[in-house]
Amino acid sequence: MSSSAPHSRTSRHLARFAAGLAATAVLAGGGLATAVSASAAPSATLTTTKVVLGQKSTSVVERKESVSARKESVTARKESVTARKESVTARKESVTARKESVTARKESVTARKESVTARKESLNTEKER
């Protein structure tokens, strides 16, 4: 029994040391850290564990950037819709102006026809006299 007690203590010391190294590595910028498992077995095994210490702040920053990008996208879409509406309004006004121009020309032609008709009638009445 006396031989297993030091082994157990050594395993625990190794596990604590490895956990401290893993935390230091993560704080220094590493993502994955290798830690010694805290088993009481004579041969301590190495396992890979993901330590999520320094990642909270980056995920918050990434979320803020994502929200900001979405806001910019929404703003761009709104501006695009506004531009399209203005374009449609301009086209409608152009069509209205063309219609009014055609109507004016028709009225002008009608007026000329009436003028010609009036002159013909005037000439005919003069001939009859």
pLDDT in tens, the chain (129 residues): 444 455 677 777 677 777 776 666 655 554 444 444 444 444 555 555 555 555 566 788 889 999 999 999 999 999 999 999 999 999 999 999 999 999 999 999 999 999 999 999 999 988 887
Position 124 in a domain: no
In a domain, 12, yes or no: yes
Q: By residue range, what is the domain housing residue 16?
A: 1-53
The residues that bridge with 46 in the sheet, in sequence order, are 36
Please report the DSSP string for the chain in residue order: -TTHHHHHHHHHHHHHHHHHHHHHHHHTT-SEEEEE----SSSPPEEEEE--STHHHHHHHHHHHHHHHHHHHHHHHHHHHHHHHHHHHHHHHHHHHHHHHHHHHHHHHHHHHHHHHHHHHHHHHHHH-
Give the pLDDT of residue 2. 47
Residue 26 maps to a domain: yes
In a domain, 101, yes or no: no
For residue 33, what pLDDT is reported? Answer: 43
Residue 34 counted as domain residue: yes
- Residue 49 is predicted with a pLDDT of 53
**Amino acid at the residue 109:** V
The answer to whether residue 84 sits within a structural domain is no
CA distance linking residue 35 with residue 70, whole number of Å: 39
Number of domains in the chain: 1
Task: Report if residue 102 sits inside a domain.
Answer: no
Query: In the prediction, which pLDDT does 60 show?
Result: 84
Q: What pLDDT shows up at residue 16? A: 74
Q: 1 in a domain, yes or no?
A: yes
How far is C-alpha 16 from the geometric centre of its chain's CA atoms? 46
Which pair of tokens denotes residue 93? 């006004």
Both tokens assigned to 110: 């009608």
- The pTM score is 0.43
User: What local confidence, expressed as pLDDT, does residue 115 receive?
Assistant: 97
